[in-house]
Chain A
Amino acid sequence: QVQLVESGGHVVQPGGSLTLSCAASGFIFSDYGIHWVRQAPGKGLEWVTFIETDGRQKDYADPVKGRFVISRDNSKNTLYLQMNSLRNDDTAVYYCVRRERASLSRTYYYFFDYWGQGTLVTVSS
């Protein structure tokens, strides 16, 4: 079965760095674009970043642009999120999410069909 397992969440001081990992199994990892979505305590869902199947196309939400770097190793079925210059408002549960697509009436629709269990990043002094 499809599984996404995040790890690396920790307590880190403001200005610090952290790298999250997401281990994928149960599907052909290199066939899927993968996203990171975060959720601050008691708040809603916020899209963070995306990486395409071959790792060449990436995109970032404005709040993390220039500070976070997404990457993937298809040989290891693993996704990474390097987080630098961390701020208090980066505190959140970070989810690794698989992007799926469906074809309806010759139009492709994209959605998040599998989510990891999340890993908590706490930025605090």
Chain B
Amino acid sequence: DIQMTQSPSSLSASVGDRVTITCRASQSISRYLNWYQQKPGKAPKLLIYAASSLQSGVPSRFSGSGSGTDFTLIISSLQPEDFATYYCQESYTTPRALTFGGGTKVEIK
């Protein structure tokens, strides 16, 4: 099974900061990587698919990059509504598994 490791597990940042979250796969997954945002008590929301394609309606301050085993989610200028937990997910093993990373909690500094 593919393992997905996110880092950091949590971070503190201020409004306006540039935030970088990384996700590493235990084997090459090409660009089969998705990112989700989850706020407390809510279902996750898709941000990015195929490593760098922005889902419709998602602000352009969110961007994704990477291929193979190493991927990055960047929030270019953190906004108050971006404080949440972010998860990466591999889709290399579709239709099964689609393993998630452990999550990165972005908190207010």
Quick one: which of B32, B55, B96 has the most chain A CB within 10 A? B96
Q: Return chain A residues, CB-CB under 8 Å to B43.
A: 95, 115-118
Q: How far, in Å, is A7 (CB) from chain B's closest CB? A: 15
Tell me whether A111 and B99 are in contact (CB under 8 A): no
Q: How far, in Å, is A60 (CB) from chain B's closest CB? A: 8
The B40-74 residues at the A interface (CB cut-off 8 A) are 43-46, 49-50, 53, 55
A contact face: mostly helix, strand, loop, or mixed? strand
Interface residue tally for chain B (C-beta within 8 Å): 26
A-B contact count (CB 8 A): 68
The A70-112 residues at the B interface (CB cut-off 8 A) are 95, 99, 102, 104, 109-112
The A34-56 residues at the B interface (CB cut-off 8 A) are 35, 44-47, 50, 52
Tell me whether B91 and A110 are in contact (CB under 8 A): yes
Q: How far, in Å, is A98 (CB) from chain B's closest CB? A: 10
Q: Which residues of A contact B (CB under 8 A)?
A: 33, 35, 44-47, 50, 52, 57, 59, 61, 95, 99, 102, 104, 109-113, 115-118
- 5 extra interface residue pairs, beta carbon distance < 8 Å, beyond A111-B46, A117-B43: A47-B97, A102-B49, A112-B98, A113-B55, A115-B45
19 of the cross-chain contacts (CB-CB < 8 Å) are: A45-B36, A45-B44, A45-B87, A45-B100, A46-B100, A47-B100, A59-B96, A99-B94, A102-B49, A104-B53, A110-B32, A110-B95, A111-B34, A111-B89, A112-B36, A112-B98, A116-B43, A117-B43, A118-B43
